[in-house]
Chains A and B, each alone.
Chain A
Amino acid sequence: MMQTLDQRQATDRLEEHVSRAVAALPVTPRLEIASDLRTECDDPSDLGPQGRIQVSRRYWLAGLDRTRNAECFEALHAHWTTNGYRVLDDARDRSVEDMETGEVHATPMLWVEHADDGFRMNLVSSVRGDLSLVTTSPCIWPTGEPEPAA
């Protein structure tokens, strides 16, 4: 099994992806950390190697004018598609219906993956128009190398 980034390197790389995305936005937001998670890659029923993890962080893009959300999506779409990312899911037309009140809210989402290092990023809007950016590493070994079988 080949070597991967270790957890620290993966976190650093994750932040680089975030910085580049934020720099591409038409307005500079205030980054507020929403989650910083480390999850196991392997499902017990998965036959793949056990012990790998993914790191992921979600940031709220705070302080943005909600009327300019569409502009932010366009800017990141342009940045990602011209900088080595491929689009996994373009749901910029997504909306949701509140099942209680029947109100419809636009909740656009754009999901991409970097072709070289496999990091994935998703820009998504809440029902109220709050934008968040979640970035996820590919499956890595925490130390960068496969752990010896116990």
Chain B
Amino acid sequence: MVTFAELRQAQPETYRQASRAWATLVEVIGTQGDTVTSRGSELGTVWAGPAATAATGHFTRLGEEFGQGAQIAGRIPAVLDTHAAAVAQAKATVDMVVSVLAPTPVLVSPAGTVSLSPAAYAVPAMVPFWQALAAQARTMINGAVQAATAADTAAAGQLNGLMPVATTTAATTSSASVPLSQVPAQGTNPQAVNDWWEGLSDEQRTWLLENHPERIGNLDGIPAVDRDAANRSVLATEQQRLEDRRDELNALGDDRNGDQDDELERINDQLTGITAINERLADTGPGKQQAFLLGFSTDGNGQAIVAMGNPDTADNIVTYVPGTTTRLGSIGGDLGRADIMVDSARAADPSESTSAIVWVGYEAPQSIINTDLGELGQDATNDRYAEAARDDLDRFQDGLRVTHEGERSHNTVLGHSYGSTVVGYTARDNGLDADELIFVGSPGVGVDNASQLGVDPRHVWSSTAANDPIQYGYNFGDLVQYGLGLDPQADLIHGANPSRAEFGGQVFASDPGDPLVRWTWEGPGPFDVIPVPHFSANAHSQYWDPGSASLENMGQIITGNRPTRN
């Protein structure tokens, strides 16, 4: 199957060059065959007897084989030339479509999906025109891709027919399919998944990645490189589906009902996350290691798991679990945090490699407090989201161990905010295969004491900035008071405060962060006499500020170093 992207980058000239190379080869083979035949017959004039007869016969057969070879190879240049012409034509079509649409609000993505930009809706009367243009572009692109695919298949078939070796390859391809009943189900033990995967032939693995990537991408125990290939493919398909649906909904305009408005909002949100992931997957540059898409789904709020650097080969791995309001659409900021953790780990120890993974592999609460009467309790005060995440996070960490190559890696699991609750619950109830646990800005991790997490308390770390409101409860009135200097609470909504000494873990330093309450004087006219408090939750998200004490300390812990202050 030829893709749009391949077609855009296709170089038909390559096939023509190959054609010329084959033509030259045919000529050489023909000449060599003639030489062998004539030299063989020359032998007869100077050599007689049974051995000479056998040798002459051998040379004759050899000459004939050269001749047959030249005859078969002689058909190859024509096949390649035909193919080159077909690809050139298809490529010219898609190139033309892209250049014609460039100045219009009809967008063609690198994957060949066609959509309308918001500008297309600026003049309502023009919308049907743009839609018609988009539809025509889709038809032309699909037609070109299909023509190129057909040419590709035809050329491959003709070449296979000519070459005995190629026939064998074709036979293997058809036997490369794997019954889907044999593909392990989601949730299968990672070691069992890995045993199954390693037991397949290369052709079978390729067949699965090409034909059923959705069954492979989210399986723990599959190597990162293969998960990445599968998920990139799923992401492209899902992006196309969402863009098509978005266009349909946009086209309805004022005729959309409330449910359709909600659907459109959800789709736009997920597409924001998909764009952020695509940008990071394509991004390189100082401090940006190659990214791997280890998980992807648009179900519910949407989920994604993205690694900066290959975890299967890294010396250190940190899995970062973000908190409240996390979803596919919000992943952009988290990807930046992962890059920053890699940077701080490198600054701490440049001799070691680190992979930082953003794990948005669970449905997170979408609000701190949900005041919607119909959805009371569907928020960060509810621990059901953490309970539902346990098995998946636990198995993901197990999978990292199974697929890791070489020496055992130093693995850290870091939870921010509600993410720390997820990490704590998983460690408490499932056991978590991690060398270090880090909690930042935690509302509690489900236990009273670090010793209840199944990880040596000397490797359980926590930090809460002095101005992070998370440690002061949710009462707004209290916030004013606590902002004026009361102590952090020992008991938080999801358990004991892990950033207090009596929890029994290791507390590391964070900077205070932006002030919780800032007062200004305001008033009527020129008289600024009324004190007005301004609340800020900024400190809750400043743990990754470049250069900050918390970030530098995280880098140290991720690389297996215990930060101390003399």
Residues of A within 8 A of B (CB): 33-40, 42-48, 54, 56-58, 60, 88-89, 91, 93-100, 105, 107, 109, 111, 120-122, 124, 126-128, 130, 132, 134-136
Provide the residues of chain B in CB contact with A36, threshold 8 Å. Answer: 285-287
Whether B561 and A105, one on each chain, are in contact in the complex, defined by CB atoms closer than 8 angstroms, is yes
Complex partner residue of B343 from A34, A93, A100, CB under 8 angstroms? A34
Partner-contacting stretch, out of B1-9, B138-146, B173-181, B347-355: B347-355
**Among B368, B417, B546, B552, contact of A120 (Cβ-Cβ < 8 Å):** B546
A58 near B343: Cβ-Cβ < 8 Å: yes
Q: Are A98 and B561 in contact (CB under 8 A)?
A: yes
Over the window 525-566 of chain B, the binary record of Cβ atoms lying under 8 Å from chain A Cβ atoms (1 yes, 0 no) is 000000000011110110011111100100010011111111
**Shortest distance between the CB of B146 and any CB in chain A (Å):** 37
Contacting pair A96 B564 (CB below 8 A): yes
Assembled-state Cα–Cα distance A93/B351 (Å): 23
B511 A100 Cβ-Cβ under 8 A: no
Cα of A98 to Cα of B560 in the assembled complex, Å: 6
In the assembly, what is the distance between CA of A109 and CA of B553, in Å?
11
Measured in the bound complex, the distance between the Cα atoms of B115 and A3 in whole Å is 33
Top 4 closest A-B pairs, CB basis? A35-B287, A43-B541, A122-B547, A39-B336
Residues of A close to B368: CB separation below 8 A: 45
Question: Nearest Cβ in chain B — how far from A75, in angstroms?
Answer: 18
B316-358 contacts to A (CB < 8 Å): 323-326, 330, 332-333, 336-337, 339-340, 343, 346-351
* Structural contact, B330 and A44, CB atoms closer than 8 A: yes
- The residue that A127 contacts in the complex, of B286, B348, B536, with Cβ under 8 A, is B348
Q: Which residues of A contact B332 (CB under 8 A)?
A: 40
Summed over the interface, the residue pairs from A and B with CB atoms below 8 Å come to a total of: 140
Count of residues in B whose CB is under 8 Å from the partner chain: 48
- Tell whether, in the assembled complex, residue B561 and residue A111 are in contact, meaning their CB atoms are under 8 Å apart: no
Q: Which residues of B have CB within 8 Å of A43?
A: 333, 540-541
* Residue of chain B at shortest CB distance from A55: B546
Question: Which among B347, B417, B537, B563 is the interface contact of A134 at CB below 8 angstroms?
Answer: B347
Q: Which residue, of A105, A109, A124, A127, has the highest number of chain B Cβ atoms within 10 A?
A: A127
Chain B residues with a Cβ under 8 A of chain A: 285-288, 323-326, 330, 332-333, 336-337, 339-340, 343, 346-351, 368, 417, 459, 511, 535-538, 540-541, 544-549, 552, 556, 559-566
Q: Is the CB of B347 within 8 A of A54?
A: no
Which of A40, A45, A56 gathers the greatest number of chain B CB atoms within 10 Å?
A45
User: In the bound complex, what is the Cα–Cα distance between A36 and B284 (angstroms)?
Assistant: 10
Provide a sorted-by-A list of 7 A–B residue pairs whose CB atoms are within 8 angstroms: A36-B286, A45-B540, A99-B459, A100-B560, A127-B559, A127-B561, A128-B351
Cα distance A121–B546 in the bound complex, in angstroms? 9
If A46-B540, A111-B549 touch, whether A38 touches B561 (CB-CB below 8 Å) is no
Rounded to whole angstroms, the CA-CA distance of A40 and B541 in the bound complex is 11
> How many angstroms between the C-alpha atoms of A139 and B350 in the bound complex?
28
Known pairs A37-B340, A43-B541, A97-B561; list 6 more (Cβ under 8 Å): A45-B323, A57-B286, A93-B565, A99-B459, A122-B547, A128-B350
Q: How far is the CA of A97 from the CA of B564 in the complex (A)?
A: 8
Least CB distance from B236 to A in Å reads 25
| Most interface-central of A38, A43, A97 (chain B CB within 10 A) | A43
Chain A residue at minimal CB-CB distance from B547: A122
Once the chains bind, are B546 and A37 in contact (CB under 8 Å)? yes
**Contact between chains at B350 and A124 (CB < 8 Å):** no
Knowing A44-B326, A56-B546 are in contact, say whether A126-B541 is a contact too (CB < 8 A).
Answer: no
A139 CB, nearest partner CB in chain B, Å? 10
Residues A126 and B347 in contact, CB atoms below 8 Å apart: yes
- The residue in B347, B540, B562 that gathers the most chain A C-beta atoms within 10 A of its C-beta is B347
A81 to B541, CA, bound (A): 28
CB distance from A61 to the nearest CB of B (A): 11
Query: A88 CB to closest chain B CB, in angstroms?
Result: 7
Would you give the shortest CB distance from A59 to chain B, in whole angstroms? 10
Contacts of B339 in A (CB 8 A): 35, 37, 39
